[in-house]
Structure 1
């Protein structure tokens, strides 16, 4: 399908192309990357005012810089001056998959459509039910008949939850109905296990705990246990899964004092020493394998990088625990992964950052997509009031630590983590403003010092959605500074909150001893016994959940430990002077600085920066700071700075 679609977009042929794309065929990652490589800039904007602004920004349309404007509606509904002069195309799923039921196809996400395109298509027309079965088998590798055996279903669920590509409701419901008919699964909540990766992991961990308790209690390991939902003890095929479940983190090894009576198959899932060292070794191995797979496989997709980012964050959190003595071999392995990963990510980001920036629904990819996603949920009836908490500077590694502490204290909180890109350059004044306003940097570049305040930008976004200004409020939090904000936080008129907590950003910038210092300070902040801690914030979030608010947590950027390589002396030429980025409006000035600092990256023309703007960033983990100075900072394009968590917290009953 991609090859057929690309035939509509020959290079150097049409300055402006309008595409009616109700099924989001142009949102596929591989297709968007190829269009970007051919020089096209893709614009997708439903708001007529913002659309006009975007179009005027990219004028004049030329063969050297062609524009594709996509819409889910009719081309005739676009402005006439664009319609009149453009090359016009209509594309839809039934053109490319004529033998599959169109309403079922419409439930697929763009990445799933790209997988379908690589599969052998049926040679006859399929009914709705047969289409569902075909898609389950070809796109999701789900075989309900094979899933009658628990070890097959568990192995599939592990892979499925690592793909970050959830089943559409229609397909999931069909699969759940089939599996609920099997007697082995009467005690399982199949629907929740498919929908919620954390619930699945808790379920497996709980059953593993029961199996180990049975083993060390003195009972026969092969004694039938009808109370068990997962019969590890008497199913050799389930036992064969244990090493893989541990390696992928689905099972966390249980610490026991002795191994008397413990069968050989259970030993990969237990530990007799500090389990963190065992987990660290496993994380190093997993991360190395993921990096090698990207090196060997060429162009990895966004879902592959999300998986690596999560593993890398857990590894970074583990290796920087001050009370966990990683040996020199493990530390060198960590640094080796870093040396391989950073250039790989830089190349991939250059090719895909702009393409993914055009895809904001139904899943956000960039921080400036987040308000649009919240509005999308409101318009679909999924929420009527919301709290967006911005934890300024929250890296994915930080979130590993924060979520672990909060999960223990709030067992009724269910935290679902998605990943998005920060706005490049990854500095607060740009990335946080993009998140609050829903705008790209190119949309507010002339007001980079923000004559329109963040609070006003939040109100303006929701006013475009028809929400009264009195119902929208942005509030920086100062609960750690002896300021009573409780009356303001309880304002009953406000249904759309944006709260900003800069504690984590301050901890990072004050970490003079590097990343380990920053994580130690973060753990102190999470400790209820410390004088300044996160409990007031948690209490307020819990109150919002009880009041029926939809609660989301987002980050504007992450951070890295970097080493100084010197500071440019460019006078007033640089618009922004950070330790990981210098921002220039003058291209020649940026190139002069780069001549003095050749180990830098000149970032420009990404579809989100204005054409004339250049961000100059040190490569790897270097910083514009005194030679040899260790700093914890942000602004660059490392995986730690760019890929950040976007979390939804709900209150639900435990599985």
Structure 2
């Protein structure tokens, strides 16, 4: 019987109780796919990566080998995942004891070009497998495989795109729906589209592959379109008057029914910015209302109501992928930023009700699915420890590149929205490629920030789990392990004020440094002194950002030819006290959302006195580290007290910004 999904062909090989250890050669990271790894766990198989021999040995010896040597049995079978290059490094005792399996994309998709399908995000393998079963393609070469994937996985038939409406509709599908078209496929799409002379002046190489460039392309064509709409479909200005940075037609068919359905959401979600235009008849064309700032008095409420409607219809379900939560969190962040910066109270009660619902669903999802994120590949970093691994891939693809990682301690995703607007005002040519990633639980600085600088899970740094004093050494060790000379690795923390040029130039030589890790702790300091809640946080962060330190830091690094990444170790949330407990706890000042206990028994006994708390399974954490955390807006402080804190598992604390900066040519 043929497998129903590509996962079935793998799962069928995992039979319980045959061996304590199974070694899987997995060059394509198939076992780390979110749904497959969860199903393996549910069937009694624990997945351990062999990427880092020290980290692996610690997890394997402490979690399994020691127990077996003592004659104890474990419920789970250990699955050790290796790639081809790591095979020779496996210890002999494991090779002798374990059953060996191998899975590759080439075996699952034998008639498709391996060099093409290996570039696909694993979230598209279901569609690809279904298409393979339905159409049974012959043995395909590279271009035919590209065309097959573009058509049957992404639903795009390039040869049928023959006019501006069809092209614009296709690009909106790609970028608004975040289809993650890999470069090898976007290049093929561009190649086919350029065969149509109608699109000769479109900047296809840029706007097909880069969502930021595409939305900037739309943004600068919105004013000419409004002029045409206001003056009876006649262009009243020379094209040069609009100062267009991107080539292509001066106006776009925004009013076509297939395009118009996107317009409201593009402005409501902040992908496009409303413009001031006099003479535009909004009553005749109500669909443009969200894109015209003459309605400024109502702008916040228009966006708030629009976002509330979108969010109510898009709350992820228990089966949702982590990427769906990230997409949702970015829209949620836009809404939270609006609520906390505009003092709009009309929809506050509705917002609070949705917030409670969202975090209840997020908590349930985290309890079931969070463990499956740890071993995902770093192509699109799902967790903070994947970020430096992703940066390594950038360095591997361009050896002469220099890299900088800026960690803004405590910055939440909605506070990033506030910062982003200020940065855009300071330099409209600053390109910000936005995403988000998951912090470590508990969302404490010493746990999560060390993960992002070490590129490892917290179980690998047990001695420093309660401090950040070792993260500079962890950062240097990570990059040394990846081939960078120690003399070319730099790290500095406690940044946030002062003259950027003087601070960096006094600390290290940018021309001789290959990778830089920087900690900006200003937001965290604001949070720990905050008495005015979430709105006060946004106000003070905005004022700090307007002071120019962060902008100067990013610009200075870019000017010195660094690729700049920005993230945060955890977010924060305004929360309300539900009661205190102190026994055996280790908590940060104002981090009253997590309590850490040295034994499971102590943690569980305290939990009985705090019914609102969650006994968090210490996934990826060192022995003797058992968290008791809060969800929603609860806190371990005196009842009735309101604080801004972190440490818990709310979406606002867990999903943090991940931004890559570039400069657009002026």
For normalisation by structure 1, the TM-score amounts to 0.91
Aligned partners of 1:91, 1:417: CA distance in 2, in Å?
A: 33
Q: Secondary structure at the match of 1:525?
A: helix
Aligned to 1:417: 434
Aligned to 1:300: 320
Aligned to 1:132: 146
Output the aligned Cα RMSD.
2.7
**Structure 1 residue 500: Cα displacement:** 0.9
Matched, 1:143 2:157: yes
Matched, 1:283 2:303: no
Aligned partners of 2:555, 2:358: CA distance in 1, in Å?
A: 38
Aligned to 2:76: 65
Aligned to 2:526: 507
More moved, 539-548 vs 578-587 = 539-548
Write the mapping of 1:222-301 to structure 2, written as runs, cut at 5 A: 228-232=249-253, 235=256, 237-239=258-260, 242-243=263-264, 245-246=266-267, 249-257=270-278, 259-260=280-281, 263-264=284-285, 267-268=288-289, 269-270=291-292, 272-274=294-296, 275-291=299-315, 294-295=316-317, 298-301=318-321
Aligned to 1:557: 570
Q: Secondary structure at the match of 1:620?
A: coil
Aligned partners of 2:273, 2:208: CA distance in 1, in Å?
A: 20
More moved, 470-479 vs 553-562 = 470-479
Write the mapping of 1:455-474 to structure 2, written as runs, cut at 5 A: 455-474=472-491
Aligned partners of 1:233, 1:439: CA distance in 2, in Å?
A: 47
Aligned partners of 1:503, 1:457: CA distance in 2, in Å?
A: 22
1:576 maps to which of 587, 595, 606: 587
CA contact (8 A) 2:228 2:235 kept: no
**Structure 1 residue 120: Cα displacement:** 4.8
Aligned partners of 2:123, 2:43: CA distance in 1, in Å?
A: 21
Could you list the per-position Cα deviations for residues 472-523 of structure 1 after superposition, in whole angstroms to 9, with x for gaps in the alignment?
A: 2211244626896243245244322111110011112222121011111111
Aligned partners of 1:247, 1:493: CA distance in 2, in Å?
A: 44
**Structure 1 residue 614: Cα displacement:** 1.8
Could you list the per-position Cα deviations for residues 15-67 of structure 1 after superposition, in whole angstroms to 9, with x for gaps in the alignment?
A: 21111111222222111121222333222233334333343233226551222
**Structure 1 residue 540: Cα displacement:** 3.2
CA contact (8 A) 1:435 1:556 kept: yes
Could you list the per-position Cα deviations for residues 503-558 of structure 1 after superposition, in whole angstroms to 9, with x for gaps in the alignment?
A: 0111122221210111111111123xxxxx2x234223312212211211111000
Aligned to 1:391: 408
**Structure 1 residue 172: Cα displacement:** 1.3
Change (3 A) 1:233 1:625: closer
**Structure 1 residue 244: Cα displacement:** 5.2
5+ residue gaps, structure 1, are 528-532
Matched, 1:166 2:184: no
Change (3 A) 1:244 1:148: farther
**Structure 1 residue 109: Cα displacement:** 2.1
For normalisation by structure 2, the TM-score amounts to 0.89
Q: Secondary structure at the match of 1:167?
A: coil
Could you list the per-position Cα deviations for residues 246-284 of structure 1 after superposition, in whole angstroms to 9, with x for gaps in the alignment?
A: 455544443445544985365344354222221111111
CA contact (8 A) 1:193 1:200 kept: yes
Write the mapping of 1:428-507 to structure 2, written as runs, cut at 5 A: 428-450=445-467, 453-478=470-495, 480=497, 485-491=503-509, 492-507=511-526
Change (3 A) 1:179 1:482: closer
1:325 maps to which of 338, 341, 344: 344
Change (3 A) 1:587 1:237: closer
Aligned partners of 1:463, 1:261: CA distance in 2, in Å?
A: 60
CA contact (8 A) 1:514 1:631 kept: yes
Aligned partners of 1:459, 1:645: CA distance in 2, in Å?
A: 23
Change (3 A) 1:375 1:150: same
Matched, 1:116 2:128: yes
Matched, 1:598 2:611: yes
5+ residue gaps, structure 2, are 1-5, 240-247
Aligned partners of 1:597, 1:495: CA distance in 2, in Å?
A: 49
Aligned to 1:24: 29
Change (3 A) 1:467 1:136: same
Matched, 1:101 2:101: no
Aligned to 2:358: 341
CA contact (8 A) 2:545 2:551 kept: no
Matched, 1:212 2:233: no
Change (3 A) 1:485 1:403: same
2:15 maps to which of 1, 10, 16: 10
Could you list the per-position Cα deviations for residues 402-447 of structure 1 after superposition, in whole angstroms to 9, with x for gaps in the alignment?
A: 1111122122321112211111110111111111122211111243
Aligned partners of 1:210, 1:262: CA distance in 2, in Å?
A: 19
Aligned to 2:334: 314
Q: Secondary structure at the match of 1:557?
A: coil
**Structure 1 residue 195: Cα displacement:** 1.8
Aligned to 2:579: 566
**Structure 1 residue 235: Cα displacement:** 4.9
CA contact (8 A) 2:32 2:376 kept: yes
Change (3 A) 1:67 1:225: farther
**Structure 1 residue 360: Cα displacement:** 3.6
More moved, 270-279 vs 241-250 = 241-250
Aligned partners of 2:148, 2:95: CA distance in 1, in Å?
A: 39
Number of residues of Structure 1 aligned to a counterpart in Structure 2: 637
Could you list the per-position Cα deviations for residues 193-223 of structure 1 after superposition, in whole angstroms to 9, with x for gaps in the alignment?
A: 122111111111221211102233x344699
**Structure 1 residue 391: Cα displacement:** 0.6
**Structure 1 residue 593: Cα displacement:** 1.1
Write the mapping of 1:35-46 to structure 2, written as runs, cut at 5 A: 35-46=40-51
CA contact (8 A) 1:545 1:650 kept: yes
Change (3 A) 1:541 1:244: closer
CA contact (8 A) 2:472 2:491 kept: yes
CA contact (8 A) 2:229 2:280 kept: no
Aligned to 1:530: none
Aligned partners of 1:252, 1:652: CA distance in 2, in Å?
A: 18
Aligned partners of 1:637, 1:383: CA distance in 2, in Å?
A: 39
Could you list the per-position Cα deviations for residues 540-583 of structure 1 after superposition, in whole angstroms to 9, with x for gaps in the alignment?
A: 3312212211211111000000001111142xx22336400001
Could you list the per-position Cα deviations for residues 158-209 of structure 1 after superposition, in whole angstroms to 9, with x for gaps in the alignment?
A: 3322444422222111111111222332222122112211111111122121
**Structure 1 residue 127: Cα displacement:** 1.9
**Structure 1 residue 285: Cα displacement:** 0.9
Change (3 A) 1:80 1:233: closer
Aligned to 2:544: 525
**Structure 1 residue 627: Cα displacement:** 1.0
Aligned to 1:85: 97
Change (3 A) 1:220 1:550: closer
CA contact (8 A) 2:490 2:508 kept: no
CA contact (8 A) 2:151 2:157 kept: yes
